[in-house]
Structure 1
């Protein structure tokens, strides 16, 4: 991650957002150490996020869960995640990434312990919500720090590579978890994860710089300590639909519904489904690595994130349509291609942070993260509810899964249309975005 100074993007009001103060920009070696320290925590966060897809056959059998229960259990993580986003943004701007993430990770350790001890669905759900709350700072904290510690080009790369680290965690949640199950059981696995989170806390305490409070800059709005600046910003509003449905929906599929589809529709065994999830997440890992390499070059050529989203995201609708049409013949490769095509929407997250002033980075990132993970919760639970509800009209389980995914796809097309309308309006007005 280079720390060479480069100009930042232009906001919708025509003013360049303030870049990180030069005395705060980290030297390359220090930036790499900080990145790796945060990456361990985010790796564990993503592993916990995706693990329900691999454990779904075991938990369904042991706890007698139906599709709605399974969707709610997986979505409970994202519900807990969403609950903390608004206070998290203010705390990050005020106290800094190091202090905030340490307090939050302590909740994650408690959540892992509670999940390992759970004896009922209600207990599992409460533990899942607590875990989601605890790891909810694992991406927002480093991205807030990067807004000050790295230059704009390095921030885009660091964001993609943090998401790549998350894909490592999701890969680890597939076959490696399946291999560990005979040795530890799912309860022992959660005890191990709690211990690894404690280890990551030690690394953050030792390696991450303390936060230096800065005076508000001239370009910063006066008297808006809350989220008013964020909610009203036209760039935030433009990106919100694709963040909620398209990006949030992709995470919902990747972390849960691709697994049950492979078992219930495509006829995979649980072990084969774990292998399919491994392939999906490995594809995502490679894609985010590639985005990290390409983003600075694309920015230099004038390819802004919203332009890439406008051109690239429609591919995901074509692939989702193929999955619905093929039904039982749609295995993990098509789901992998779908998830990869949705990564265009991931470019919206760092772009929103760069569009607002540096001193509001925590609020901008957390506000947008609330949109994304609110979408994950709604889509993840909603697909499960649809599958169960469609049983009143369609007896065949395969048909119910196909219909639920088709409805989700239609919602994605609508969200993209709202985004595209705003994008084209800004272009006609001669504004970025």
Structure 2
């Protein structure tokens, strides 16, 4: 439905991109802040590896719970209305997190934070599907991810510097205030769905029920071919970037908390530059007729090789190794716009949110799972370095299997 009457002018498109990017920036800052705060929270609340994984993964559990509902609501009501309602939950949850005094309270508020910011990426991507020209979809997606990398960058050294000054509790009060500011600018500057769009969507939805609509998406062979990649490779990338890279640097590489935060800073700075460059070159690659599938197939093995090298290197692997892994995983980001463009615009929100469910449930399982495996291996008397190596080796096997599955099943794709 991205007809000329829906397309925004260059100026309005830039404004809309900025206001939604502000919310996504804050959401990724909150998402990744546990990697920097993990030493402090582990000491204050006496957390084991599995507890830390569950706490960090709670955000993604809440996030994933909302994806199917968000997809339905985004298609029906539009990005503006959906994101504004959810941000209210995010504000309250940040405040509750700031006053939590036990693990259960931290976990529950973390889950509701995930619910509150669960539309911060899918809402703009659904809107861009209608408001931006087709040849700008990949660039808009890449630059939204660049904004997310900027949020993750802000969660590293800046948080580490502020931690002894104001403490982690007041940080979450500040994050709540930032969400309120984002709420205000989205309310003022974001376009809503037009009456004509709402009428068309409601007519379409009346023919396809809530669950049958998602069943239709699931039946698509191309969507299913990307599910394992989304769950393990994309979800695993986020699990490492937002949590496990930090504990590896401290417990395996022997970094201090400040050195770990510095390593995370450069990791996320590298991702920011990578997504910026990715957004610049993607339209030109597509003009050459090189498909997203081909780029994924050729590019993804590099991340698997780097991950294998990191595991093998053990205590000699640090920030540089994890930075290379994350940068080489950038090819997986093409799956998001590929999904969006593979379906008609009236169900694009549901398709994107369904895929997001896969990704973020994958983050939750991988984050928690790595922590559980680390603790289990340690129970058998092995040291922490070997425990981390074993957990990540299992993760590597899953990622390799997902890549092979995509190679086998990639051929079938919906024609737009």
1:62 and 2:44 correspond: yes
Q: How do 1:71-90 and structure 2 match up within 5 A? A: 71-90=53-72
- Pick from 288, 292, 296: which aligns with 1:309? 296
Q: Distance in 1 between matches of 2:16 and 2:366?
A: 34
Q: Which residue does 1:185 correspond to in 2?
A: 167
Do the aligned partners of 1:42 and 1:139 also contact (CA within 8 Å) in 2? Answer: yes
1:326 corresponding residue in structure 2? 313
Q: What is the match of residue 128 of structure 1?
A: 110
Are 1:247 and 1:343, in contact at CA under 8 Å, matched by a contact in 2? Answer: no
Give 2:96's aligned residue: 114
State the alpha-carbon separation in 2 of the partners of residues 325 and 210 from structure 1.
Answer: 51
CA distance in 2, matches of 1:268, 1:152: 45
- In the other structure, the counterpart of 1:367 is 354
C-alpha deviations, 1:39-78, integer Å up to 9, x for none?
1100000000000000000000000000000000000000
Question: Does structure 1 residue 223 correspond to structure 2 residue 202?
Answer: no
Name the SS for the 2:289 alignment partner: coil
Q: Distance in 2 between matches of 1:157 and 1:394?
A: 49
Give the alignment partner of residue 389 of structure 1, picking from 376, 382, 385: 376
Work out whether 1:282 is the aligned partner of 2:282.
no
- Per the alignment, residue 120 of structure 2 pairs with 138
Following the alignment from structure 2 to structure 1, what is the Cα–Cα distance between the partners of residues 352 and 113? Answer: 20
- 1:235 paired with 2:222, answer yes
**Structure 2: how far apart are the matches of 1:221 and 1:88?**
14
Q: Secondary structure at the match of 2:349?
A: helix
Structure 1 runs (4+) greater than 3 angstroms displaced? none
Consecutive unaligned residues of structure 2, counting only runs of 5 or more, are none
Q: CA distance change for structure 1 residues 302 and 248 in 2, over 3 Å: closer, same or farther?
A: same
Question: Do residues 418 (structure 1) and 400 (structure 2) align?
Answer: no
Judge conservation of contact 2:26–2:179 (CA < 8 Å) in 1: yes
Q: Which residue of 1 aligns with 2:16?
A: 34
Residue from 324, 327, 332 that aligns with 1:337: 324
User: What is the aligned counterpart of 1:165 among 132, 147, 156?
Assistant: 147
Shift of 1:216: 4.4
Q: Does 1:352 align with 2:339?
A: yes
What residue is the counterpart of 1:91 in the other structure?
73
Residue 406 (str. 1) matches residue 396 (str. 2): no
1-structure distance, mates of 2:47, 2:183? 34
Distance 1:222 1:137 in 2: 24
Report which of the two has the higher share of helix. 2
- Any conservation in 2 of the 1:426–1:432 contact (CA below 8 Å)? no
Q: Deviations for 1:153-180, whole angstroms, at most 9, x for unmatched residues?
A: 1111101000000000000000000111
Within 1, Cα distance between the matches of 2:183 and 2:112?
17
TM-score of the superposition, structure 1-length normalised?
Answer: 0.92
Residue in 2 that maps onto 1:21 = 3
Equivalent pair of 2:222/2:409 in contact (CA under 8 Å): no
Q: By how many angstroms is 1:302 displaced?
A: 1.1
Distance 1:133 1:432 in 2: 33
Distance 2:121 2:272 in 1: 16
Aligned with residue 132 of structure 2, among 145, 150, 156? 150
Q: How does 1:196-211 map to 2 (within 5 A)?
A: 196-211=178-193
How big is the shift at 1:223? 2.5
SS at the partner of 1:22?
Answer: coil
**1:394/1:400 contact within 8 Å kept:** no
Whether the aligned pair in 1 keeps the contact of 2:222 and 2:412 (CA below 8 Å) is no
Q: Distance in 2 between matches of 1:178 and 1:329?
A: 24
Tell me the SS of whatever aligns to 1:118: coil
Q: Distance in 2 between matches of 1:325 and 1:281?
A: 23
Residue deviations 1:384-432 (CA, integer Å, cap 9, x gap): 0000011233421111011111110011000111011112x449xxx88
Aligned length, in residue pairs: 409
